[in-house]
Structure 1
Amino acid sequence: MTALHDLGDALAPPALGGSQAEPPLDLRRRVLTSVREPSRSAGVYGRRLALRLGTVGAGAVAVAVLVATNSGPGADPPAGTTLDAARVWELAAQGAAALPAAGPKDRFAFYETVGFNRVLEPAKRYGTRIVPPDLPPVGTLEGPQVTQVWHPLDQTRDGYFKLLAPYNGRAAILGSHPGIRVASGTVKDGTLGFFGEQVDLPTETDGIAAYLYRDSGEISREEADRRAFDRIVIMWLPQNVARPQVQAAVLQAARRIGGVQVQQQAKDAAGRPGVGLIRTDNNVRTELIFDPKDYRFLGYNKVTTVDDPTRHMKAGDIITSYAIKRFTYVEKIKQLP
């Protein structure tokens, strides 16, 4: 839906050395639904959306960046040669198109994800209150947090999420599910719901490209490309795993994004090797990671490219990381495959 896609733009990590603003209040109200708990005091503070996306620890990503241009796709290269970015987009689109269809709308997409997150900003004090409560010091890496999500194919219905022990984070780390809100790290499960208009994304390349580059008339092409890449990485691929044709169209349209390079030795938050497509903007390298065999979407990382003493980070440290460990369809909430 439009609100969810727009929220993704508000979640991108700030340029290092800057500060990260809260998402606009009206946008948060449109997107979010609260976690409904059996017993929860109305006075609990820290009702802050857990918008912090996962990360893996420093040094967890083996970087072998091979600069490539977005030329047209060709035949598979011989063993030992490198892929260009356009060919990786093409192979990923083919892999997405081959995924099984979701089936009846009353089913649920089941995800098991893992995420890491580095605390970038301190908790805020409001009089005697600290929001969010018990937030670790700036620079702390939280994770791994494994989460199970039952995402309704019919988004007029509620879904469900459950954090698995150990609870490595003061709030849910759910990069692809911004409909989840938790009060604090003590919340282990709850309702996933959505508000707002349901957007039917086009399944043809030109339509997707137009939507990717919407509202980009008064900004530079470089900034428009950055926004388009982040929309794909943070929102469109994680949110549309259950919609193979949308995924395929998104990946085909993504070949138009400039400044994309190939990272042949990437690693996701689950420790799996992959092929990465990367862009570097504002001292942050964004890594979109695919399985090296079938090119299905695995996850993404955001990595600092500069030292940032104020946040106790060094170049190469991961800011945020998210991976889908497993995915399938089930008939009802809480059903495990």
Structure 2
Amino acid sequence: MKNRYDELRRSSWSMPEGKQKLLVLEEMIRIADRYMTEEDAYNARTSYFAAAAEAGTQERMITAFAWCLAKYDQSPGSYSQHEIMWYYKWVIGMIWRFPVFRLEQIEAVFEDFKRRCIEYGYSLRTYYHKRSVYLLSRGLTQEATECYKQWRTASRDALADCRACEQNAFGHYLFSANQLKRGMQAVKPILDGKMVCRSIPQATYSEVMVPLLKLKQYEEAVAVGKKAFRTIKGPQFIEEQGVFLEFFTVTDLPKAVKIYNETIRYGLEYKPSWERFNYLLSVRLFLQEWHRKKRRKKLVEDGRVTLDWLEQEIASLADAFNRRNGDDYMLAYMTDKETHMSRMIEAFQQRVE
């Protein structure tokens, strides 16, 4: 079976991200578990982490990571400490996005990550980064702000993202907190070309499009939108694609149609999650505008994805998060998003007229 394992591994190296690659890696894991060493099974799963995330199946990565973490704890000298912590930071950024995980589980994971950072000699910068985003998603603004301050002041180390990605993350946090001008200041070095990496500035464009519209900087928003169009592809970017859908619903409805038709299958396949919730909110805003203008063109999945269906799906996800979190914050979150969208459409149309 080792020959089959090696054959699968070699083929996976040249495969594009997606379901087929996941199937190959999952077969490798099954072979390693049954016929090979624990180290082989561990390494097969670490190869699987990024592929699962890229395919938009983060829940599979969390399951595979839990297996690896248990093996690491049983024999820490056999595996890379930095590697397990690097992937652990992915997990604490993912786990709260699934309402199936209880608050006690999420808090336990964050605390375990924090404990390990201290024990292994890492800075808490990554911990505060991930926790600030999580707290903000629950509407806990004061607690999130405190974590954000600690994130900014904690020392950088080997667990931190590259400086360009982290600068983009500062902007993302501030935009999510509706601190639009501060967010634009944070990403200015990126937009000025002073900070770049493999994913920056491309990822930054999707961050600033809607804030620019909210700030009524329409020319800048449209210019960035043109740059951003087609830069982000694949199911792992479904939430960002929702942002594109909202932006072009305001500025260029035919492009919004194109994005909807290209991405709706991802949204339908996604497990109940924060990404699915936000994407479907964007789809609802798009369809409301589409129907308001009485368009007759058929859309992909238009027999299934109706406003009534969206209302039910969105309400179900909002209820799942509210029950998990013990509050009704998601209702305020949805209302705020819809209000901003209506204002942007009205203001942009007045500018055009």
- Name the TM tier (shorter chain): under 0.3
* TM-score, normalised relative to structure 1: 0.26
Higher strand share: 1
Higher helix share: 2
* TM-score, normalised relative to structure 2: 0.25
| Bigger Rg, which one | 2
